[in-house]
Amino acid sequence: MDTRFLGRTGLRVSELCLGTMSFGGTTDEETAHRMLDRFTEAGGSFVDTADVYGTGASEEIVGRWLRRRRRDDLVVATKAYGTMGPAPNDAGAGRKHLISAVEASLRRLGTDYIDLYQIHVFDDATPLEETLSTLDGLVRAGKVRFVGASNYAGWQLQKSVDLSRLRGWEPFACLQPLYNLLDREAEWDLLPVCREEGLGVIPWSPLRGGWLSGRYRREQAAAPPGSRADVDPDAGGWPEAWGTYANERTWAVLDAVRDVAERTGRSAAQVALRWLMQQPGVTAPILGPRTPDQLEDGLAAAGTPLDDEHLAALTAASDRPLPYPFGLLARFRRAP
């Protein structure tokens, strides 16, 4: 597995990141540890978790695995924002919660430092200066090496970058956005901000909850029971619900993915991952396997790239008209 620099930092990470959201939930600890072992055997070094995953269970599982590894060989990322208790300050990106949250994550992970500490969601109730200055303090205290963001809008990300530059605070090293062949909205303004400002990009849900693995087909009337798509999006379910994605554009994208998979001898999941890995500015997609077989399939995306013809076919199949003002700006673009 190749390595890449995380944005403009000197930190090298593997070109695939292992996401651990299922650890402690659908993936038990023994299986999780086997998957972590296999990921590192394949050359992986980048592991992503969050305090809210299993309300700390994922971090604890990763932490117990870390005890028998050489810590400096790994890049461990976690996130804070979500509700971790009943008290008023048990959530958000305010100073009180972040300081408590990072100490709790350090204890659960059993480590002296966190390589990448990310704000899980933009906090519109906390002054941005409070969040960014707190992150800067965590870096200066040696508890955190780099800081990043996830689930920000373009203006929120750019304002964060500008404010950190103005105040001399530790800047965001990367963004963790939703980005895949079915969800390309990040291309409108988030990815241009990242490229312009030198932030790495570590996309979450690169297979959109199984949609891009090729498991669903046009002739199906509903999602298989128990699948990630078998949820009600209006009842707090994941947004990859059947009613959200079962449309002609999705089927056209899946047709293109399967066609490239057949022509290249890869699985549909490997093709979708490989397209994402080869997009400008992308550092490392976050694999979110629940089973060793899913991990093994994802790992095979490393290595041989797709050629230009196959990339173009996938991009064309997943393209769609840009909304205002992005469509208008594209028409009048003058940059070479």
Residues that are catalytic: 53
Residues with Cβ within 8 Å of 63's Cβ and at least 6 positions away in sequence, in order, are 108, 109, 110, 111
Residues with Cβ within 8 Å of 68's Cβ and at least 6 positions away in sequence, in order, are none
Residue 103 phi, psi (nearest 5): -65, -40
Helix (H) or strand (E) holding 40: helix 29-41
Q: How many CB atoms lie under 10 A from the CB of residue 325? A: 10
- Of 172, 120, 128, give the one whose Cα is nearest residue 151: 120
- Of 299, 261, 256, 255, give the one whose Cα is nearest residue 277: 299
The two tokens of residue 161 are 């970058």
- Of 188, 224, 231, give the one whose Cα is nearest residue 326: 188
DSSP secondary-structure letter at 27?
Answer: B
Distances (CA, A) of 262 to 28, 68, 232, 246, 310: 34, 41, 33, 23, 11
* 273 three-class SS: helix
